[in-house]
Structure 1
C-alpha cells in the first residue's frame, strides 16, 4: 500500500546496518515530530510513517539504505505560548535535568505539560542533530522531582536505550503511613509484568492522626506505572496523600502526594562522565522530618 503524494514532514535516509532492526526501535529519536518510543508507536498506528513509500507498521524491519518519511498534519490555528518557568538542575549540549513540580503532566495531549514548557527553559543544543528538548521518562502527575531530558536526536535515542537496559539508577523518597520493617523488597506483578521495588526506612515519627509516619528511600528495579504507590499500598504502608491507593479514612486531602524523585545516577552517554544528580527534598517533607 502506497502513501499518497503529500509532502513528508521529515525524511531520513538509513545508513548501512550490520543487522536488521525493528523500525519501532531504530526510529526512536530520528524525527522531531516523534522523538520518543511512545510517540513513534502512535505515528505508526496512525499510518503516518512510510519506508520506501510503503506504509510502515510495528512489524517493519530496517536493513539499510531505506528512506523513512513521516507525515504529520500541520497544526491548525494560532499556537499559544506556555509560560511555565522550570528549575534546571543540570544542562550541557546533549541533555538536561529539571525539577518537575507537582500537579502537571510530563507529556500528553494537554497544553500545560512539562514537554511544552521545556523549549523556553532549556538552551538549544549546538549539535547538528539538535532536537526539540524531550523528556525521556515519566513521572506521575502528582509526583515531584528529577526529570531527564534529551536535547539531540542521538541523545534521546541513547537515553531511551539506557532506560530500557536499566543503566540508570533512580532513587525516590516517600512519606508512608504505619509501622514498617526497617528495609525490604517488594516483588509482584503489575499489569501482568514482574515488578520490584527496594525500600529503606530512614526516619519515623509518631503522628496523632496517622499513628506513625516514615521517611522511606525507594529504589525501583523496574518501571511499571504507579509501581511505588502500588507496592507500598500492598504492604499496608500507603504513601501520604495518595487518593488512589491510600486507606480511605487516612487520606490527606489538599496537600498533594508525598512522593519525590530524588536522584539519577548514570554514565553520560557521550562524555562518559559519571553523573549523580539530585533534587533536594521539598519543604513539605522537611516540615515533617526536620
Structure 2
C-alpha cells in the first residue's frame, strides 16, 4: 500500500466527522460516496491506523490517502494532448466535457495509461494520479503524478497554496481592468482576482469580456460562482449562468491556461502555459461583427 496524499489537520479546525472532512482535502476523490468507499476499504488512514467514517477529526491528526496498487481494469483509449512529461510528472491538456476521475469508465484518469509512458522509478505509481481537480466542463492543464513521491510533494504544494493557477475565460458583461472577489463558497472563505484581456460589444449580451482569472483558494466551482456572483457569469455555464443565455453545444468558456509549481524531484520552478481554445476569440469576433452589422443597418434605416 502506497501513500499518495497526506494532510495534517490544522489548528482551529471545527468539530467535523472524517467522511465530511476528507471530501475537501484529497484531489483524487471528489464525491461523498467515493470517500465513504475509500474509508471502508481502508484506503484513508488516520495517524497510521484504519479509521471509520464517523471518526471526529481533531487538530494535529495526520490523514493519509493510500493506493492498493491495482492497475485499472480497462484503459479508455482517448487521445490526449501531452504538454509535458518526464519520469515523475506529466501535464496534459484536458478536454472539456469529461471528468478527471470518478466511478464511470470515460474519465481522464482511465485514459492516462493510453497516453503516458510508465515511470521507471522505484516508487512509480501503478496508476497515474491527477493531483488536483478540474470541473468536467472546464478544459486545460491537468498536473499528473507518476510516482508516490511526486504525488505527496505536489499534494503538499497545493495544500500550502504554493501552486499558482491562471484561467482564461469569456464572461458575459463588461468588467474593470482588474479586480478582486472575496466571496464565500459553501460557507468557506474564497478569494479570486481577475485581469481584463479584452472586451467586445455584443447584441445579445451588450458586452463580452475575455479575462484571466487567478484563484487564490481552491473551492469547488469557485471561479464559476465568483463570476456569476458579481453579475458576470462565464459564457456557457449551465449551472451558474443566466437562463436564456446558455449556448447549446458550445461548452463552457473556461480554460486552465497556466500552472506554476516546483518540480517534485529537481525543485526547478516550472511554468507551463497553453493557449485557450480557438473558439474563445472566434466567438467574441463573431459577436462584434454581428453588433457592427446591426448598428450599420440601423443607421441606414
- For 1:165-199, what per-residue CA distance to the aligned partner results, in whole angstroms no more than 9, with x for missing partners? 01110000100111222211000111111000000
Q: CA RMSD in A?
A: 3.1
| Matched-pair contact (CA < 8 Å) for 2:2–2:67 | no
The 1:170/1:62 distance shift into structure 2, 3 A limit, reads closer
TM norm structure 2 = 0.76
Aligned to 2:292: none
What residue in structure 1 maps to residue 85 of structure 2?
Answer: 91
Q: Say if 1:171 and 1:187 are closer, same or farther in 2 by CA, change over 3 A.
A: same
**Number of paired residues?**
254
Q: Which runs of 5+ in 1 are unaligned?
A: 1-9, 13-20, 23-34
Q: Distance in 1 between matches of 2:36 and 2:208?
A: 42
1:71 and 1:229 map into 2 onto residues whose CA distance is: 32
How far has the Cα of 1:226 moved from its partner? 0.5
> Is this contact kept in 1: 2:177–2:195, CA < 8 A?
yes
Write out per-residue CA displacement over residues 203-240 of structure 1, whole angstroms, 9 at most, x where no aligned residue. 00111112111100000000001000000001110111
Give 1:269 shift. Answer: 2.1
Residues 108-166 of structure 1 show CA distances to partners (whole Å, capped at 9, x for unaligned) of: 00100011111111111111000021100011110000000000001001111100001
* In 2, Cα distance between equivalents of 1:232 and 1:276: 25
User: Is 1:197 matched up with 2:192?
Assistant: yes
Aligned to 2:241: 246
Q: Structure 1 stretches (4+) deviating beyond 2 angstroms?
A: 35-45, 47-63, 78-81
Equivalent in the alignment of 2:289 = none
TM-score (norm 1): 0.78
46 and 206 in structure 1: CA distance in 2 versus 1, 3 angstrom threshold:
same
2:143 to 145, 148, 164: 148
Residue pair 2:176, 2:196 contacting (<8 A) in 1 also: yes
In 1, distance between residues paired with 2:255 and 2:230?
A: 19
CA distance in structure 1 between the aligned counterparts of 2:198 and 2:67, rounded to whole angstroms: 53
Counterpart CA distance in 2 for 1:37 and 1:86 is 19
